[in-house]
Amino acid sequence: MSFGNNPSKQEDADSHSKQAASLEEGAFMGRPEVLLAGKPANSYSDLAQLLASWGARCNFANSFEEVSKLLGERTFDFVVCEMALAGGSAFRAIPLLAGSATTLFCSYPVEDTCLWIQVVEKGRVCQRPVAWRPDEFGQVLRQVVKGKA
């Protein structure tokens, strides 16, 4: 999903250094915590910048193992990931979120785009999940993140 211009390699490296530093400083009080999973962090740079502009703090994971580890260590308001993660499906995260306050959104590839599906809402499996196109999902994500900030 694209959300604007791609940064230069230097800007990308600077951005990732700042993100790593913010992880070491500890949680930002009252800011929504978002875990972006399934792609290298630089693939999510536009989305991460957009989420940050809405007041969210972004964290990154490339595999199911990293997702599992982070979910065991921290609390996230939202997990946004690809359905197919290295090391396992995003569905494997559902039991890890049971009873939490975390909402899970997954992307599912369809032809030359994807659909975004809300799989878990605040720790409960969605009985009637809704699928959004990328532009619709951007609006939904903005509403839920800004509502949490």
Q: What tens digit of pLDDT does each residue of 99-108 get?
A: 999 999 999 9
Band of the pLDDT at 149, cuts 50, 70, 90? low
**Largest Cα–Cα separation, the chain:** 44
Residue 39's pLDDT is: 76
Whether 42 has a pLDDT exceeding 80, the answer reads no
Q: Would 113 be classed as within a structural domain?
A: yes
The answer to whether 107 and 1 are in contact (CB under 8 A) is yes
Q: Would 4 be classed as within a structural domain?
A: no
Which is more confident, 77 or 24? 77
pTM of the full structure: 0.76
Average pLDDT, integer, range 117-124? 94
Check which CATH number belongs to the domain holding 129 and give it. Answer: 3.40.50.2300
Q: Which two tokens stand for residue 21?
A: 């530093």
With a pLDDT cut of 90, the percent of the chain lying above it is: 55
Range of the domain at 98: 9-24+31-148
Question: Distance between CA 111 and CA 144 in Å, rounded?
Answer: 27
Question: Distance between CA 42 and CA 10 in Å, rounded?
Answer: 12
Question: Distance between CA 11 and CA 29 in Å, rounded?
Answer: 26
35: how many CB neighbours lie within 10 A of its CB?
22
The answer to whether 106 and 119 are in contact (CB under 8 A) is yes
Q: Would 139 be classed as within a structural domain?
A: yes
Q: Would 1 be classed as within a structural domain?
A: no
Number of domains in the chain: 1
Q: Would 60 be classed as within a structural domain?
A: yes
